[in-house]
Amino acid sequence: MDVLAILKQKSRPVYTVTNEQTIEDAINLMAAKNVRALIVTDKKQPVGIFAERDVFRYYVLDRKSAFSDIELKRAMTSRLFSAETTDEIPDLITMMIQSDIEYLPVIADNTVIGVLALIDLIEYRIESFTKEIQQLEDYIDDLHAARQD
């Protein structure tokens, strides 16, 4: 399975907000769409990501300002890591863990086509290992059966 297959299986739509919208706008959209991360754009180009942890982080940094007064360009994570459809799943998992990120936009033809969560990739790897273990167990069982013949 590759990045596209995981995206199709998880079918998580991409929601965007502009960097001039407010934290309150983003929270409302996240709640309405039941998502945990939004892609932040400037002139329709992705420039950051805004996730649940950004809400908490900004709340701790600035408890005096109302979320309706704070533009996302001040609160978003502007270091935007991304994946391409040809990337290897183990490499993406490693990069996400090392970079301490939970959500990763997938880009094809300069367009964000989906967002992967770290948990999606880990679940995929667990399923892959489970299948591989089952194949190895079947192979060993076949060897034992052949030995008894």
Looking up residue 57, the CATH number of its domain turns out to be 3.10.580.10
Q: Which residue type occupies 77?
A: T
Q: For the full predicted model, state whether its pTM sits above 0.85.
A: no
Distance CA 23, CA 13 (A): 20
pLDDT grade for 1, boundaries at 50, 70 and 90: low
CA distance 110 to 84: 10
Question: Can you tell me the mean pLDDT for 75-89?
Answer: 91
- The tally of domains found in the chain comes to 1
pLDDT in tens, 44-62: 899 999 999 999 888 888 8
Q: Which domain holds residue 29?
A: 3-148
62 CB-near residues (< 8 Å, 6+ apart):
70
**Helices and strands (H and E) in the chain: how many:** 6, 6
Number of residues that this document lists for the chain: 149
- Between 1 and 34, the more confident residue is 34
Q: Which of 108, 144, 77, 80 shows the shortest CA–CA distance to 2?
A: 108
Give the separation between CA 133 and CA 124, rounded to whole angstroms: 14
Q: What angle do CA 63, 67, 68 make, to 5 degrees?
A: 140
